[in-house]
Structures are given as structure tokens and as C-alpha cells.
């Protein structure tokens, strides 16, 4: 565990060994102009602190009357460190009811860190709570892109729709020891409105990057979706569904990226709360266009209780081996309802090894289990 220590006007990092790392940050503030103990907007004061200081250390929830830092306009992180002033206690950044976009963006920013912060999308109190996300409407919690950044010990919860956190065109980053839960709504919890579901963490590009030791539960689209990339490592993440349905727990690979190693992740589900525990390839989604993910290695994962615990559909190259799947149950799985299975393979070519013991099944968008399977 790393602890940020304020020493004069600099921040240093203390590793578990006790050694101090170099201190590149030049200025630090607790941003006292922003007050998390009232119901007034804090985004103007916080943005000024983010613009003018290298490290912004926020007040955590440590005494009665704490509301959180109320955000009515998207914050833009431009550099440095955003964290709690009293770790390991987390500070809370809370979406104001009238916020009509994401809470925080760091776009094209390198070498920043976000840690010990809870991002609360305040879904039930938002004016846009019943307005579905689309190409023109964005109600994600956090949007990140850049190189060499770190996200650790954060929580992202209560997103209206879309995703609790997205990572765009990025490399060399690490997301660890964080929690993504209770994001979005399925139509049965939203008066029949479509398009209000939300991922937990969505990673569009994962190059020379690590996603590890995170917790996900009861998100409503895909808990953890990673397109892949060279030297992308996704491991020791835990995904659970207790009370809300999602289409998939862990979704792996997309035609836009090649590579990635996915191991030692654990997925579990209550009855009819996960369609796919783990899905390799993206054929169940129309946006995939029938394309193939490539060269991903998926091994030593465990998936239990989903309708289909492990499905491979849309993979060219890579390997699937030594995964554990058991206890498939339920009926609610995309494009193939009422067909529980522990392990299925549909469109897969040049995969070596391909773990044996599968049922042949296709989940292509609109297929309703029809089509020509092609495992080689």
C-alpha cells in the first residue's frame, strides 16, 4: 500500500517497504474553498484547485454532516494527484441533481493519480435519471485517457447509465484495488425504459497496462469490459451478482484490439443475474459487426452460477485453457434464452490450446442460437 504524505508543499509516496519515492509534485492544496459539509456546488472551487495545484487532497467522510463535494459541471483533471487528505478514508465526489454529463474527465493527461475517492453518480436524484445514454448523451461517472496514470482505492457507484468509468486511448496505466458497483438500471427497474444499463469499468484500449485486484458487483451491462491490447494484463478481479442482472460479468476482446492476458479472475452469480459469466469475443453485440478479437489468452479463471459461465464467440488466435466453470443455471442470456451451459464455443479459429469440454453454441446478435458454428 502506498501512502501520500504532505511534507511542506510537496507530496512524497511511502511504499510498504518504507522507502520514499521521488517527489515530482510541486504544490499541494486541501482546497478549503470547497466545502463537503453543505449542499452548495463545489465544482468551481474544485476546478480552480485542479487548475492551479499539482496535488489536491480532499476532506474524507469523517464526521457528521458530510455530504460530499457536489459537482454540477464536469471537473477536468489536467495533471498530478487527486486523493484524500486522510487516507485510507475516502473523500466523496457527488453528482449534483442537475449534472448532465460525467463528473470528472482526464483526457489526454499523462502520469496522474486518482486514489481514495468515491465517485457517486447519485443516480436516483439526477434530473437525467430516466434519459438513456447515447452517442450524444453521456452520463458516465468518470472518463479517462492518457499514459502512465494510476487509479487505486477508488469506488465508482450510482452511474445513471453508460459506465462508472471508461478508459479511452491509453497505455501504461494501472487500475487496482478499486470497486465498481450498483451502476445503471435494467428496464425492469426503470419503468421499462431501455438503454439505462451501465458497465462497471469499460476499457477501450489496454496497452502495456494492468487491471488487477478490483471488485465489481451488481452493475447492469458488463461489469468489466476490456477490448485488449499488447501487454494488457487483467487478473485477480472479483465479479459478483447478488440482486441485479447484467449481460456479462467479464467481456474480453474486440476487433479493434489484439492481445491481452486474462487470468485468475473470479465470477459468481445468483440465479438469472448474469447472462455470461465470461464472454470471449463480442459476437453477441451488434456493434461488433461479426468481427473477431485476436490473440487473447484466457486461463485460470473461475465462473459459477451464470446462465453460460464461459462462452467463446468471435476469437481468432490466442488460447483458452485451465478455466473452471460450474453450476450454470437460469434462462436469461443474450440471443439464446433458456440454454444454460458451463462452457460453449461458437466462432473460434486458430485458438491453441482450446480448452475441451465445450458445447457448440452461437450467440451472434440476432441469431437466436442459429447459424453455423466454426470452432477449429
Tens digits of per-residue pLDDT, 196-207?
Answer: 999 999 999 999
pLDDT at 26: 78
Same-domain status, 130 and 272: no
Q: Is residue 191 part of a domain?
A: no
Q: What is the DSSP string of 187-217?
A: GGGTTT-SS-BEEEEEES--BSEEEES-EEE
Helices (H), 322-374: none
Using the predicted structure, report yes or no on whether residue 234 has a pLDDT greater than 80: yes
Same-domain status, 368 and 271: yes
Same-domain status, 234 and 314: yes
Domain total of the chain: 2
Burial (Cβ within 10 Å: 0-12, 13-18, ≥19) of residue 358? buried
**Strands 3-7 and 10-14, sheet pairing:** antiparallel
Using the predicted structure, report yes or no on whether residue 6 has a pLDDT greater than 50: no
Beta strands in 27-176 (DSSP E): 28-29, 55-58, 69-71, 75-76, 81-84, 91-95, 104-106, 113-115, 117-120, 142-144, 150-152, 155-157, 162-167, 174-176
Residue 3 CB neighbour total at 10 angstroms = 14
Q: Is residue 197 part of a domain?
A: no
Name the residue with higher pLDDT: 324 or 16: 324
When pLDDT is cut at 50, 70 and 90, the band that residue 370 belongs to is low
Residues forming a β-bridge with 343 = 310
Using the predicted structure, report yes or no on whether residue 22 has a pLDDT greater than 50: no
pLDDT at 43: 98
pLDDT at 81: 98
Q: Is residue 312 part of a domain?
A: yes
Same-domain status, 158 and 294: no
Name the residue with higher pLDDT: 61 or 11: 61
Mean pLDDT for the stretch of residues 36-51? 97
Same-domain status, 285 and 371: yes
Which of 30, 12, 7 shows the shortest CA–CA distance to 22?
A: 12
Same-domain status, 105 and 155: yes
Same-domain status, 146 and 252: no
Same-domain status, 280 and 161: no
Give the lowest-confidence range in 13-27, 29-43, 236-250: 13-27
Q: Is residue 34 part of a domain?
A: yes
Q: Is residue 205 part of a domain?
A: no
Q: Is residue 176 part of a domain?
A: yes
Same-domain status, 152 and 234: no
Which tens digit of pLDDT belongs to each residue from 159-189? 999 999 999 999 999 999 999 999 999 999 9
Mean pLDDT for the stretch of residues 300-309? 98
Mean pLDDT for the stretch of residues 29-44? 97
pLDDT at 367: 82
When pLDDT is cut at 50, 70 and 90, the band that residue 25 belongs to is low
Mean pLDDT for the stretch of residues 202-219? 98
Query: pTM for the whole thing?
Result: 0.92
Name the residue with higher pLDDT: 366 or 326: 326
Using the predicted structure, report yes or no on whether residue 324 has a pLDDT greater than 50: yes
Mean pLDDT for the stretch of residues 242-269? 97
Mean per-residue pLDDT over the chain, rounded: 92
CA distances from 162 to 132, 136, 171, 277 (A): 8, 12, 22, 20
To which H or E segment does residue 51 belong?
helix 43-52
Distance between CA atoms of 8 and 157, rounded to whole angstroms? 34
Which among 182, 208, 236 is the end of a domain? 182
The C-alpha angle 27, 32, 35, rounded to 5 degrees, equals 140
Name the residue with higher pLDDT: 181 or 287: 181
Same-domain status, 257 and 358: yes
Which among 123, 158, 182 is the end of a domain? 182
Using the predicted structure, report yes or no on whether residue 19 has a pLDDT greater than 50: no
Range of the domain at 345: 221-376
When pLDDT is cut at 50, 70 and 90, the band that residue 134 belongs to is confident
Which among 123, 154, 182 is the end of a domain? 182
Residues forming a β-bridge with 318 = 296
When pLDDT is cut at 50, 70 and 90, the band that residue 59 belongs to is very high
Q: Is residue 251 part of a domain?
A: yes
Q: Is residue 193 part of a domain?
A: no
pLDDT at 16: 37
Using the predicted structure, report yes or no on whether residue 372 has a pLDDT greater than 60: no
Distance between CA atoms of 288 and 18, rounded to whole angstroms? 47
Using the predicted structure, report yes or no on whether residue 12 has a pLDDT greater than 70: no
With a CB cutoff of 8 Å and minimum separation 6, the contacts of 246 are: 197, 218, 219, 220, 221, 222, 223, 273, 274, 275
Same-domain status, 158 and 274: no
Same-domain status, 109 and 234: no
Amino acid at each position: 500500500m502506498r501512502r501520500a504524505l504532505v511534507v511542506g508543499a510537496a507530496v512524497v509516496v511511502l511504499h510498504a517497504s518504507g522507502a520514499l519515492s521521488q517527489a515530482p509534485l510541486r504544490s499541494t492544496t486541501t482546497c478549503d474553498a470547497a466545502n463537503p459539509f453543505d449542499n452548495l456546488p463545489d465544482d468551481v472551487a474544485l476546478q480552480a484547485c485542479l487548475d492551479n495545484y499539482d496535488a489536491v487532497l480532499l476532506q474524507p467522510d469523517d464526521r457528521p454532516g458530510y455530504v460530499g463535494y457536489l459537482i454540477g459541471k464536469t471537473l477536468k483533471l489536467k495533471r498530478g494527484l487527486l486523493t484524500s487528505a486522510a487516507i485510507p478514508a475516502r473523500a466523496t465526489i457527488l453528482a449534483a441533481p442537475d449534472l448532465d454529463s460525467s463528473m470528472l474527465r482526464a483526457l489526454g493527461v499523462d502520469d496522474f493519480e486518482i486514489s481514495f475517492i468515491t465517485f457517486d453518480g447519485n443516480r436516483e436524484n439526477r434530473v437525467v435519471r430516466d434519459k438513456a445514454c447515447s452517442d450524444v448523451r453521456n452520463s458516465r461517472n468518470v472518463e479517462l485517457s492518457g499514459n502512465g496514470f494510476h487509479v487505486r482505492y477508488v469506488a465508482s457507484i450510482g452511474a445513471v447509465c453508460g459506465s462508472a468509468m471508461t478508459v479511452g486511448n491509453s497505455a501504461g496505466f494501472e487500475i487496482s484495488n478499486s470497486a465498481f458497483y450498483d451502476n445503471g438500471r435494467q428496464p425492469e427497474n426503470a419503468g421499462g425504459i431501455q438503454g439505462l444499463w451501465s458497465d462497471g469499468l469499460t476499457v477501450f484500449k489496454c496497452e502495456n497496462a494492468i487491471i488487477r485486484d478490483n471488485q465489481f458487483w451488481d452493475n447492469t451491462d458488463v461489469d468489466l469490459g476490456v477490448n485488449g491490447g499488447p501487454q494488457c494484463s487483467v487478473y485477480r478481479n472479483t465479479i459478483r451478482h447478488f440482486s441485479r442482472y447484467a449481460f456479462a460479468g467479464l467481456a474480453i476482446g474486440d476487433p479493434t484490439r489484439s492481445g491481452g492476458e486474462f487470468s485468475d479472475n473470479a465470477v459468481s452469480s445468483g440465479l438469472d443475474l448474469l447472462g455470461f459469466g465470461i464472454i470471449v469475443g463480442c459476437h453477441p453485440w451488434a456493434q461488433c459487426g461479426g468481427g473477431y478479437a485476436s490473440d487473447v489468452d484466457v486461463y485460470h479463471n473461475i465462473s459459477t452460477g451464470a446462465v453460460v459461465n464461459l462462452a467463446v464467440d468471435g476469437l481468432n488466435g490466442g488460447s483458452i485453457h485451465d478455466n473452471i466453470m460450474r453450476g450454470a443455471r437460469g434462462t436469461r442470456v443474450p440471443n439464446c434464452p433458456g440454454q444454460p451451459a458451463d462452457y460453449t464455443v461458437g466462432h473460434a479459429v486458430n485458438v491453441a490450446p482450446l480448452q475441451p469440454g465445450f458445447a457448440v453454441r452461437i450467440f451472434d446478435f440476432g441469431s437466436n442460437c442459429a447459424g453455423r458454428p466454426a470452432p477449429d
